[in-house]
Structure 1
Amino acid sequence: MNPIPRAELFAALFLTLSATAALSHATLERGQASPNASYRGVVQIHHGCKGEPTTRVSVTIPEGVIGAKPMPKAGWQVAAERGPYARAYPYFHGDVSEGVKRITWSGGSLADDQVDEFTFLARITDAFAPGSTVYFPVEQDCTSGNHRWTDIPTAGAAKLKSPAPGVTIVAGPAPSPAAKAADVRAETPWMRATPGGAKVAGGYVRIVNSGTQADRLTGGSVPFAGSVSIHSMSMDGGVMRMATVEGGLVVKPGETVELKPGGYHLMFEDLKGATPKAGETVQGTLTFERAGTVPVIFTVAPIGASGPDAKSSAAPAPAGGHHHH
């Protein structure tokens, strides 16, 4: 019998180990995060308990991860336990000293041979340096039996039997709440997440012109849109109307113009591929007549949010998908 080539043997062993790891743990879909950035945690449950369905999933939010919010899940009840942090952390509207420490989904039923996801949003603080790992212990209860994915490695420890899902901290893009080119500054760029199948999305930003000459915002770019234009919204006889700002938006010397929901806004058009989800960030650009191309980083807020750190509104989107604007 011919021996199996070493390369094929290693490849087969790697695939076997990868498949075993994927099927024997509660895992996090996104394995990397950056300090001082939002994180969208997606806990994936791959199996039940010796054939029994999963009825409860609980994730512990570690110290140094703040502002955690659970995403509701159809057929499950969600509970968020709050508690004090070990110290105060800077947040969007000032320091915070307490927040959600544990999130639990219960009351549903996930069959042993099915996979599902349990999602939360949070912010990774600078308590973690690039190269470190943040662990999110997960408890899984079934109709009979349970799993506790809570083991955290320590120096010199043996292989863990039930490892907690971990997120590796990596250096992110340089913090840029205000990107500047010449005398024009773009502050707090953000956008709304979009539902599946949407063809357009809205983007918002505050433009500050500290120079002595007027400039004009003419467009921009993001990876998932075929084009970016500037639109306005206004009331006309009790009807909200939206129109393209032909030639771009003028920002006078010393003037601040805010693009926000219900007024001027960026229109991301001809969306293609996977669009960003709440909690993520998107690198893009803004284009000015005088200042040229200004790099920006859009934060992604939930669908219907009124601001970069606001919750989703409950209002349904009208036909055509223009609720985003």
Structure 2
Amino acid sequence: MTTSSPAGALVAAALLAISTPALAHVSFETAQAAPDSTYKGVLGIPHGCDGQPTLKVRIRIPEGVIDARPMPKAGWTLETVRAPYARTYRLHGKPVSEGVTEIVWSGSLEDGHYDEFTFQARITDAFRGGTTVYFPVEQTCANGTEAWTEIPADGQDPHSLKSPAPGVRLVGAASAVRSDTAGPLKVEEAWSRATPPGAKVGGGYLKVTNTGSQSDRLTGGTLPQAGRVEVHSMALDGTVMRMAPVEGGLEIKPGETVELKPGGYHLMFMDLKEPLTPGQVLKGTLVFEKAGAVDVQYPVQPLGAQGAPPAGHSHH
């Protein structure tokens, strides 16, 4: 959601890209890793650009992936770009606040040839199991650049993208349960997602379980960083995902667990006063029709994250 108005941001975030998938994407040899682990990325370049040789391969290292170390390649010049991280991480017990954020190999690879480009990096606990971590890639040729940088929007099939960024799916144990309560209602696994600079809307996600004997309704909430918090729905209308406020609030029936997640029901943080950054913890409230207000915390995950953070980011 990158537009400057709430309405524009909703439309931009909701549109599904319906296109024919490219036949030969750049991709990783191993597309899975464990959460909070060291990952060896072997990126395959299967072709050039419209028959022209590849002269440069640039990999962007996403926030939450640290200590990136490229493998030199015979016949190619290797460069790295270092920059501060958005937050401080721990590596071998020591704080780390900056590192390699881009890796660039320069050389020549004929269009009809295949080659691999390798690096090693630490995928931190900023991501949880079930999340896909995307590494945007730019492939520069003599006559232009192939930008493998598309990241699927909420609810979008990544295979529908024309130029998808290669991704690594994190598989492993689920995170520990974190919860807050308001009477018979239990709120679990709240989280949010980082926003680009200038964005005026953000999203909040969580699970609510009603252990009581009467229905209740989630009507909204508060957040210091936002002008207001609304409950929204997302539904497929033909080929377009449309978002709209849930009039009267979201019903939580007795014995029911309702999940607010990307691509479905979710909270909208409207009129943001500042960007949401990875590692930040947003402290706000949820408001229920009968149970009243309950304090909640939203650990902010990196842009494009699909799930709550791992254990260790507890709230009270």
Give the TM-score, by structure 2 length: 0.47
If asked which structure has higher relative contact order (CA below 8 Å, sep 6+), I would say 2
Whose Rg is larger? 1
